[in-house]
Amino acid sequence: MNRFIAPILLALILSACGLQPLYSGGSKGAVATTLGSVSVATIEGKSGWLMRNALTDRLGAQDSNAAQFRLVVTLDDRIEGFGVRADDTVTRERRTLRARYQLISVATGE
């Protein structure tokens, strides 16, 4: 009997705690509207163009004129050759792409 009452009591107690899901409200929720107010600055190079488009799509940016925040990204793209043959031909490469970013408030500049 206690096995059945304990989960019911636990469910009632947890439902009264006042917590709400962070992403509640879907595309009209607080998180989605804040992410939509981030404009992504132009990033140099082909990799930068691809990354900017992916970030804009992922954040759901609406209008860059009404943005509250600006995301500035700097990419460091490095390719190292290793596995060199006797005739100095590179057989393998390692690519490292590092992104440094700043989220800047448009209103304050911080």
Nearest to 1, CA basis, from 97, 83, 9: 9
Domain residue limits, the chain: 26-105
pLDDT in tens, the chain (110 residues): 667 787 887 777 766 666 677 777 777 777 778 888 899 999 999 989 999 999 999 888 766 677 889 999 999 989 898 888 888 888 889 989 899 999 999 999 89
pTM of the model: 0.66
Please give, one letter per residue, the 3-state secondary structure of the chain.
CHHHHHHHHHHHHHHCCCCCCCCCCHHHCHHHHHHHCEEECCCCHHHHHHHHHHHHHHHCCCCHHHCCEEEEEEEEEEEEEEEECCCCCEEEEEEEEEEEEEEEECCCCC
